[in-house]
Amino acid sequence: MFIEEFVVDDPVAVNEGLEAFLATLNLKRDFAWSSGARDLPTGVPSRFLDIYPEGIVDKYDSFGIVYVRLWLVGPNPTRLLMGIFLGAARAEQAEPRRAANFVRHELENLIDPLERERGFQYKTWGDADIWWREDGMSVRAVTRQFEQFMTYKAVTPNDGNFDSIEADIGRLIATVDEAMDQLEPLREFGKNILLLYYGENLPTVAVAAGDAFADGVAGGGGAAPAGAEPEVPKPDPEPDWFSTLPDEPDLGDLRGMREPYEKVVAALAAGKHVLLMGAPGVGKTELAEAVCRTIPQPYDVVTATSDWTSVHTIGGYMPVPQPGSDAEPLDFIPGVFTEAMAANKWLIIDEMNRADIDKAFGEMFTLLGGKRKSIMLPYRKRQDDGSYQRVVLGMANTQQADTHVYALDPGWRLIGTMNTFDKASLFQMSFAFSRRVAVIDIAIPNEADYRAILETGAAVLQDGDDNALHDAVLGQLAAIFAVETGAGLGALGLRVGPAIPLDMIRFIDRMRRFEDDPAKLVLTALESYLFPQFEGRHEQTADIAASLAGTLGLQALPDESLARLRAFTGAMD
């Protein structure tokens, strides 16, 4: 039991016990450890044991690297702080908080279970549990370092809880092991931490943003000499994505998408944001995500709505409750664009044409124009000391101490999708927006590819030697969706992408428990999955009804089905 030996300060026994303990955890990576002791600035003795993934970087506590820290602080009494620690070069007041919040957001799916299931938590210096504080004793220098714990737990170790402590430590180590996958590429992640951590207080040595793990930063990075101006790092050139692209991209189940994929990557690498246009269900969003994964580039996906304003996208004032107080002062809360920019995650906006683009994008129009621009927003951001600073988006001068900067990396991109089938909101974008993006059309797969996609999806309907239902459903869906000319939607110019019939197939697979007539099953699925796509097409109601009835082998659609179709198209009796 290594934790007992750590408490009694037996280094040899700790090494032996910890090696055996790590061997029981089934980790992906090799872990090493380092220990040390020092008196805190207030004179209180402390010892620490750091457990970290070996070989990830040259220094395990480099900027942005996360590892497990066990910190014994005492006496009176001696307690153990255990948690996930964030590597940094120095501890100021606000910087660790910004960096820790950023990393907590990145690792939310890993940290949340620790805090909900095992009682870990994150605290700032203002409310940290400083059990050894005496009257008049300043604790800020210590609690700033506590804030580098992204999540931690404080316990008093004794013979009765060593097992539970080691169980918690095992979970922490496993979490860090998983975190290494999510923080890739580590160099880019370290760059973000460097910029977040230092802000306007850049180190004396000029540091290129891409050198976040350089020894000069991770190992020291002291304050600038008196009177010296902090040096501003030069922005990195945009990455050469073509050098890392695989010869055969993984496009998943998408067929016929190689050419659109190449156009999208070329447009992004040329410095443009991208708008993918096409019929519903054709795979626009899937292609956007596949591109991001192939590059690779972290990304977020959001869906636009008609309610969007610049508050949703850029941000705005919201009441923010204050700990230990009933006050809820207004503060600037970033929107989806600003959050993605700050985390350097690309943003995929699904169904972009459902938003009033000119109204919703607001000040983003300037930033989307490129050329390393910046904008001053009409908002102020509350700082940790209670003061407020002007909010700036983009490539702002980091020496302006009175600004709160949400930096925009020159390699940041926006990818939007637009549904050309929805006439109610088609082409509602201004020239000012359209000239800021590369518009790429995503065509419906050709008939051969479409049939192959349907055949793959319909395999779930096969039932041993009896494939009558499978064959009938596949034939009807192919006639409705895959055929480019003649009968079906192709004759009406209303073809949609394969995502819709694939959804129908999954529905039919479940529904066949209650119904065995292929025509009725397909018609029921059409009512739920296809009819909503015809919103506003009242003038084509009769043609749509006749076409679908013909492919289903019916004289006409049943009255109930026709009524449902009319409800979506808006046709009048």
| Residues 246-281: tens digit of each pLDDT | 778 888 778 888 899 999 998 988 888 999 998 888
Nearby residues of 465 by Cβ (< 8 Å), 6 or more positions away:
none
Q: Is the pLDDT of residue 215 over 60?
A: no
The angle formed by the CA atoms of residues 484, 485 and 489, to the nearest 5 degrees, is 70
pLDDT value for 229? 37
Mean pLDDT to the nearest integer, 458-463: 88
Distance between CA 321 and CA 324 in Å, rounded? 9
As beta bridge partners, residue 154 has 81
Number of continuous H segments (helices) and E segments (strands) in the chain? 21, 15
The DSSP secondary structure of 32-47, one letter per residue, reads: EEEEEEEE-TTS-EEE
pLDDT > 70: percent of the chain = 79
Q: Which two tokens stand for residue 392?
A: 């700036």
pLDDT value for 167? 92
Q: Residue 237's Cα: distance from chain center in Å?
A: 23
pLDDT value for 207? 39
Lowest pLDDT segment from 159-173, 376-390, 516-530: 376-390
| Residues 299-344: tens digit of each pLDDT | 899 988 888 888 888 888 888 877 767 777 788 888 888 888 888 8
Distance between CA 151 and CA 69 in Å, rounded? 11
User: Which of 543, 522, 529 shows the shortest CA–CA distance to 281?
Assistant: 529
Lowest pLDDT segment from 157-171, 431-445, 540-554: 431-445
Q: Is the pLDDT of residue 214 over 80?
A: no
Q: Name the residue type at position 81.
A: L
pLDDT value for 216? 31
pLDDT value for 204? 40
pTM of the full structure? 0.56
Q: Which two tokens stand for residue 188?
A: 């880019």
| Residues 136-146: tens digit of each pLDDT | 555 555 566 67
CB atoms within 10 A of CB 443: 14
Residues 364 and 375: beta-carbon distance below 8 Å: no
* Better-predicted residue by pLDDT, 522 or 208: 522
User: Which of 410, 290, 284 shows the shortest CA–CA distance to 351?
Assistant: 284
Distance between CA 383 and CA 152 in Å, rounded? 24
Mean pLDDT to the nearest integer, 371-378: 73
| Residues 528-569: tens digit of each pLDDT | 999 988 887 888 899 899 989 888 888 889 999 999 999 888
Residues 407 and 396: beta-carbon distance below 8 Å: yes
